[in-house]
Amino acid sequence: MKMKKMLAGAGLACVVYAGSFSGAIAHGDQQGKHGKQQDKAVTIAHRGLSAYAPEHTMASYQLAKNLNADYLEIDLQMTKDGKLIAMHDTTVNRTTDGKGQVKDLTLKEIKQLDAGSWFNQKNPDRAKAKYEGLEVPTLEEIFKKFGKNANYYIETKSPSLYPEMENELVRLIEKYKLADSKNHPNRVVIQSFSKESLLNIHELNPELPLVQLISYKNPAVATDAEIAELKSYAVGAGMNYRMIDEAYVKKMRDAGLWVHPYTVNDPADMQKLLDWGVNGMFTDYADVLKKVLKQQKENNKKYERIHQ
């Protein structure tokens, strides 16, 4: 992807991020428990630092961690023998040298696949020999490696294919003690396009903050009824950034909901969304978003000095 010139036209507009939300909701006052995360716009490393390393590999996650991205985003699929792996697609075809549905392959079979060479072939300017032969990691391996030193933004992908997905996900989160809402209420955020999956997660562990992914076919309009429904079980929503505008963001934020658009890779788009007041965003270029946020912070300081 050809990136536009960094931070072109960044203005001095002061952006204020609300640090606390309130309002009891049907499933346990989720905003009250989890609002403090939103005192700043968060950087969500989409499939790791996937612009520079093969998505959903330890190499990609390590690069994102090195940048201090706020969240490592992990898509989940489930193997034939019930293991959760980090993978976006329901097949291994695109991101490995294998073929077939994840649900039809055992973890041992998937571990034999090369999950890195495709990236080198697709991105010769960013190819690295160490990416050849990378394995598909399990969710447990990611938890073991990064533990409580990272935050996780986890999506249940195609949960209807995997009846045990939510049970295994919550089991692993609890095994590694990542759902301690008292001391770190947002270490793990669960997202899904499936409301049913999110409600299942809530029943298993009400402490976990939930984000509803929404696929808008037309420019987004947030109705009062839709917002009320969202607030009954979720702390926020994620949507294609191209389908929203400033009015949409304001209405969602005024209702106390997080707004985390996806997948934003251009610095001008990042700046626009920040000006609108989003709480964070998914990006393949966490390094670029970090620079935009740094510039935004400097601009805010300049604005404050000028208007003191």
pLDDT at 38: 54
Residues 61-65, mean pLDDT to the nearest whole number? 98
pLDDT at 37: 44
| Cross-strand partners of 239 | 214
Which two three-digit tokens encode residue 251? 């209405």
**Cα(25)–Cα(210) distance, rounded to whole angstroms?**
13
Is the pLDDT at 119 greater than 90, yes or no? yes
Is the pLDDT at 6 greater than 50, yes or no? no
Is the pLDDT at 81 greater than 80, yes or no? yes
Mean pLDDT of the residues in the chain? 89
CA 182 to each of CA 34, 111, 186, 236: distance values in angstroms, whole numbers, following the listed order: 10, 37, 10, 20
- Show which residues are catalytic: 46, 88
Query: Up-side HSE of residue 247: CA atoms within 13 Å toward CB?
Result: 5
Percent of the chain at pLDDT > 70 equals: 87
pLDDT at 303: 67
Is the pLDDT at 32 greater than 70, yes or no? no
For residue 218, what pLDDT band results from cuts at 50, 70 and 90? very high
Would you state the torsion angle of the CA atoms of residues 132, 118, 73, 65, taken in this order, to the nearest 10 degrees? 30
Is the pLDDT at 285 greater than 70, yes or no? yes
Residues 153-182, mean pLDDT to the nearest whole number? 94
| Residue bearing the bigger pLDDT, 14 or 212 | 212
**Residue ranges per domain, the chain?**
30-72+155-306
Is the pLDDT at 30 greater than 70, yes or no? no
User: How much is the pTM?
Assistant: 0.88
Is the pLDDT at 39 greater than 90, yes or no? no
Second CATH level (architecture) for the domain 30-72+155-306 = Alpha-Beta Barrel (3.20)
State the amino acid at position 57 in one-letter form: T
**Cα(168)–Cα(73) distance, rounded to whole angstroms?**
18
Residues 74-96, mean pLDDT to the nearest whole number? 98
Is the pLDDT at 31 greater than 60, yes or no? no
Which two three-digit tokens encode residue 3? 């990136």
pLDDT at 27: 37
**Cα(21)–Cα(168) distance, rounded to whole angstroms?**
30
pLDDT digits (tens, 9 = 90+) for 45-59: 999 999 999 999 999
For residue 291, what pLDDT band results from cuts at 50, 70 and 90? very high
Task: Judge contact between 154 and 191, C-beta under 8 A.
Answer: yes
Is the pLDDT at 17 greater than 80, yes or no? no
